[in-house]
A and B are shown apart, each in its own frame.
Chain A
Amino acid sequence: MAFMPTDTLPAILNQDAGPKDNGQATYLEAVALALDHEMQRDPDTFIIGEDVGQFGGAFKVTKGFLDKYGPRRVVDTPIAETGFTGLAAGAALVGLRPIVEFQFADFISCAFDPIINVLARHHWRTGDPMPVTMRAPFGGRLRAGPTHSQSVESYFAHVPGLKIVMPGTPQDAAGLLISSIRDNNPVLYLENKYLYRRLKAAGPLSMDPIPLGVANVVRPGRDITLVTYSAGVHQGLEIADELDKEGISVEVIDVRTLVPLDVETIVNSVKKTSRAVVLHEAAKRMGYGAEIAATIQEEAFWYLDQPVARIGAKNTPTPTSPPLEDAVIPQPAEIAAAIRAVARA
């Protein structure tokens, strides 16, 4: 998959999608299929958010759901992120399984309070579970600018009580969403909107849940470990192919869920390769890569031949104009150079 941003946000917004598996479901369709699967399976699940019903969602993930499930279970709301997130908390408290859609991850800041102070700490305080799944499309490369392109995972990774899921493939999008919905905790499920219609499954999707907290070694390698997630997985795989020609064997790990984090898979890989690079499109400073890098040095310091390198976005807001955005979000050449530098040092 090439990371050449050829389309812009409106082009993605205006396309249709529906929950039908044609054997080559896109990432977006995988989300829709998993939602549909769980809505059919569990009558306590409902979808709530802005424009999710009659409009089918801003990205059309829930297109057709209102007709199929009715307004009782597919709930259009006013523009009130605090309101509907808090509503989801109350409904979960008395036994329902709300699935909240944030139109853009950028808007989740409007619901920071109910997520942090209500959802995340309620179980620890009281013993009452809060099974709320919060879906949010995040990320850049769509020329959408500083408040439509953010990676928000680090804001929330600091908070005890939240799980954070960031699938990178259609199959993972489906299986991890199903696990998220069935989980008895608040789960932040971050969909990479750049991948929505770029990735296609290689066959019919399995609707089996994929457990949270299990990383996937998507490409085995000998010389260096690349730890990444979401769109970084595809960047990593492309670059690994390229570096293979140069004689550098890169092992690519897709962590898939940030919380819980599969430390064992990462550490075992580093013990084998002795070198590690962490990649994400969120800003490098205080990005989740810092946690991964620190964990590697705590758990496998004496196996390392080089310091762990981190690759992330520059410490600026995400710009709109293509040359500016490309200068901020990690590009293939700089990722390859960083991996090469650690591998050859």
Chain B
Amino acid sequence: MATKTKEAPAAAAADAADDLGSRDRDLLLRIYRAMVLTRAVEDRMVAMYKGGDLLGSLYTGHWHEGISVGAASTLRADDYMAPIHRDLGAHLYRGMDAWQVMASFMGKATSPTGGRDGTLHYGRLDLGHYNLPSHIPANFPVATGMAFAAKYRGQDKVCLAFCGDGSTSRADFHEALSMSSVLDLPNVFVIENNQFAYSTPISMQSKSMQFSDKAKAYGIPGVTVDGTDVLAVHDAVAEGVERARAGKGPSIVEGITMRMHGHAEHDPADYVPPAMFEEWSKKDPVELFEKRLVAAGVIDQATAEDTRKQARQAAIDARKKALADPMPTAENIEDGVYAD
């Protein structure tokens, strides 16, 4: 029941290299490739935003890659998740195509919603990914429902519910946590604490010392980890997933990171003290993990460079495809308001 903080600071990266030998090498490589690809796609999309390729604003997850991929990499293919707009990493890890995400930000016919919805709303149920509405906390109760259905059918599937620090203030958060805990649902609630709810710092959002403290109120485990350490996140979420799969109910994992861009690309984030950006710039989760893999001999420097190069090319190719894809036509716009 206790809320705890796991110490896994960046300084641990060098001397933690030893523990990588005991880990599944393929899993480490999948995590690494997804993080590198996520960064490459988001960097490319920032350029696309600036170049006028995109419809509206762009929401990125720079410095969220550790939480997003770390959490998603604990799931089986048949599990569910309700990700947020910082979770491109989770989507890509589980099979979303980068071009499809770009197509969503362009309102293309080939986006997951065919242009009916767009920008960050690119979930796909065939992958088990809920496609959330604009107000992020609404996906928390939905995530309890996906978990409820699994339990109802006697399946051992779990559903990850992601939110930011900001979403924890909403009633949806409280009601979903209440429901999930009293019904012992197979959920893990992942709080991506990136220090700001749009412009509002965490000190103006909550008196809790850490967001995982909120677990105490629901009588469930809560843990806070370094969100820039992908393996710390993976391990903490894996523990919650195992617990949920075993029918022991939900838990909270908070990953602490920083939102390194504005709320979206239109937002210069002038409200963030420059020293904060400077301090956090030293904790790039992708870079930290890469260094750790190289130091442990899981990959060599040439492989790392090659992986980054391939990811960059994949992002360029994805942009080409998305740009070439058609815009939707409006002749059937009133179809599908109701299901048959």
Q: Does B175 contact A (CB under 8 A)?
A: yes
Looking at the complex, which one of B116, B134, B141 makes contact with A83 (CB distance below 8 Å)?
A: B141
Of A94, A122, A127, most buried by chain B (CB within 10 Å of CB) is: A94
Chain A residues 250 to 276 lying within 8 A of chain B, measured CB to CB, are: none
Complex: A93 Cα to B141 Cα, angstroms:
12
8 Å CB interface, B125-143 against A: 125, 130-131, 133-135, 138, 140-143
**Interface: B113 (CB within 8 A):** yes
Closest CB in chain B relative to A91 CB, distance in Å: 4
Q: How far is the CB of A184 from chain B (nearest CB, A)?
A: 4
Q: Of the candidates A78, A80, A87, A123, which one forms a contact with B338 in the assembled complex, judged by CB atoms under 8 Å apart? A: A123
Residue of A nearest to B125 (CB): A128
Q: Are A83 and B339 in contact (CB under 8 A)?
A: no
The residue on B at minimum CB distance from A123 is B339
Q: Shortest distance in angstroms between A56's beta carbon and chain B's nearest beta carbon?
A: 19
The chain B residue sitting closest to A122, CB to CB, is B131
Say whether A125 faces chain B, with CB atoms less than 8 Å apart. Answer: yes
Question: A300 on the interface (CB 8 Å rule)?
Answer: no
Min CB gap B241→A, angstroms: 17
Is A86 a contact of B338 with CB atoms below 8 Å? no
Report the minimal beta-carbon distance from B109 to chain A, rounded to whole angstroms: 14
Roughly how many angstroms separate A117 CA and B131 CA in the complex, as a whole number? 12
Minimum C-beta distance from A153 to chain B (A): 17
Q: Which residue of chain A has the shortest Cβ distance to B154 in the bound complex?
A: A72
B38 within 8 A of partner (CB): no
Question: Which of the listed residues B130, B159, B175 has the most CB atoms from chain A within 10 Å of its own CB?
Answer: B175
**B103 within 8 Å of A (CB atoms):** no
B116 and A118 contacting across the interface, CB-CB below 8 Å: no
Q: How far is the CA of A106 from the CA of B120 in the complex (A)?
A: 34
- Smallest beta-carbon distance A116→chain B, Å: 9
Contact A83 B178 (CB under 8 A): yes
Select the stretch in B47-55, B144-152, B254-262 that faces chain A. B144-152
Q: Is B112 an interface residue (CB 8 A)?
A: yes
Does chain B have a CB within 8 A of A154?
Answer: no
B179 within 8 A of A: yes
B145→A125 contact, CB < 8 A: no
Q: Shortest beta-carbon distance, A100 to chain B, in Å?
A: 11
Question: Which chain B residue has the least Cβ–Cβ distance from A92?
Answer: B145
Cβ of B121 within 8 Å of any chain A Cβ, yes or no, is yes
Asked whether A90 lies within 8 Å of B183 as measured between CB atoms, the reply is no
In the complex formed, the residue of A with least CB distance to B131 is A126
Q: List, in ascending order, chain B residues with CB within 8 A of A160's CB.
A: 337
List, in ascending order, chain A residues with CB within 8 A of B121's CB: 125
* A95-B149 Cα distance, complex, nearest whole Å: 8
Query: Which A residues are in CB contact (< 8 Å) with B140?
Result: 86
* Bound form: Cα–Cα A160–B338 in Å: 8
Query: A69 → chain B, closest Cβ, in Å?
Result: 12
Chain B, range 80-127, C-beta contacts under 8 Å to A: 80, 82, 112-113, 116-117, 121, 123, 125
Residues of B within 8 Å of A163, CB to CB, are 338
Assess the B339–A118 pair: CB atoms within 8 A.
no
On whether A90 and B339 interact (CB within 8 A), knowing A83-B144, A113-B135, A113-B138, the answer reads no
Q: Are A78 and B339 in contact (CB under 8 A)?
A: no
| Complex: A98 Cα to B143 Cα, angstroms | 15
Q: Which residues of B contact A80 (CB under 8 A)?
A: 174-175, 178-179
B172 near A: Cβ within 8 Å? Answer: yes
- Interface assignment of B16: CB less than 8 Å from any CB of chain A: no
Q: What's the nearest-Cβ distance from chain A to residue B147, in Å? A: 8
Say yes or no for A24: interface residue by CB 8 A criterion.
Answer: no
- Distance between B56 CB and nearest chain A CB, rounded to angstroms: 16
CB of A89 within 8 A of CB of B141, answer yes
- A276 CA to B149 CA, complexed, in Å: 48
Return chain A residues, CB-CB under 8 Å to B82: 90
Which residue of chain A has the shortest Cβ distance to B177 in the bound complex? A83
For this complex, 17 residue pairs linking A to B, each with C-beta atoms less than 8 Å apart, are A46-B152, A77-B179, A78-B175, A78-B179, A80-B178, A82-B141, A85-B141, A91-B149, A94-B125, A118-B133, A118-B138, A123-B336, A123-B338, A123-B339, A129-B339, A161-B337, A184-B339
Known pairs A78-B179, A80-B178, A94-B149 / 14 extra A-B pairs, C-beta < 8 Å: A46-B152, A72-B152, A80-B175, A83-B178, A86-B144, A90-B149, A92-B145, A94-B80, A113-B135, A117-B138, A123-B338, A126-B112, A129-B339, A161-B337
In the A-B complex, the 9 residue pairs with the smallest Cβ-Cβ separation, listed nearest first, are A90-B145, A86-B141, A83-B175, A80-B175, A90-B142, A184-B339, A91-B145, A129-B339, A87-B145
